[in-house]
Amino acid sequence: NAGVTQTPKFQVLKTGQSMTLQCAQDMNHEYMSWYRQDPGMGLRLIHYSVGAGITDQGEVPNGYNVSRSTTEDFPLRLLSAAPSQTSVYFCASGKTDILAKNIQYFGAGTRLSVL
């Protein structure tokens, strides 16, 4: 019963490096999203997707790219990491129908440090 799986759990990057945070879910959820968590600011939405091939920006999208080629996977790409992207990143997924009660399920998070 995997749920939402995020990899890696921890990552240290140097400024200017690129990397991809992976997110996969095995619950056949249409909706997937990425949040970042910073002290005193709660979680803020970066990008989201309502299905394969469909993505859109959230509140803080700058510096991040996403794509959704399959229902199961929703990777988050940092093209040129900056110290301001040091944060904890969460992936979430859910079904957007009334029977699913609009509940979003979260991965365990990735702690990213950009030096």
CB of 18 to another protein, least distance (A): 24
> What residues numbered 3-42 form the site for another protein, per CB under 8 A?
31, 33, 35, 40-42
Rounded least distance, CB 65 to another protein, Å: 18
Write out the binding residues for another protein, residues 76-105 only, by CB under 8 A: 88, 90, 92, 94, 96-98, 101-104
Length of the chain: 115
Given a contact cutoff of 8 angstroms between Cβ atoms, the answer to whether 20 and 14 are in contact is no
Characterize 14-29 residue by residue with b for buried, 16 or more Cβ atoms within 10 angstroms of its Cβ, and e for exposed.
eeeeeeebebbbeeeb
